Amino acid sequence: METNGTKQAWQCRRCGHAGERLSGPPWPGAEGERIAAAVCSACWGEWLERQTMIINEGRLSVRKPEHRQRLLEEMKVFFDLETAD
Ligand SMILES: [Zn+2]
């Protein structure tokens, strides 16, 4: 890994690895931008599995704004997005 210079290698916020980045924001709005900037595609895949469980357990619909909001809160906890860098 390249260590010279001041530019640090990108690391996934969740797993800490320099994994494959997401190709774009996977969620609308500012949260999607933050997720795309913070986590690797493998961790996003883990979240999608978790999200499916949450949807099934809570009988949520992503079409309902209040359910989307709940998923967003779970997502923020999953990726630790509330913590300042
Ligand atoms: Zn990761």
**Per-residue pLDDT in tens (0 to 9) along the chain, 85 residues:** 555 556 678 999 999 999 999 999 998 899 899 999 999 999 999 999 999 999 999 999 989 999 999 999 999 999 988 765 5
Strands (E) in 1-85, as ranges, are: none
Q: 10-85 — its CATH code?
A: 1.10.3880.10
Ligand 1 centroid – CA 37 distance (Å): 11
Ligand 1 centroid – CA 14 distance (Å): 5
Report CA Rg, the chain. 14
pTM of the model as a whole: 0.82
Ligand 1 centroid – CA 68 distance (Å): 23
Ligand 1 centroid – CA 40 distance (Å): 4
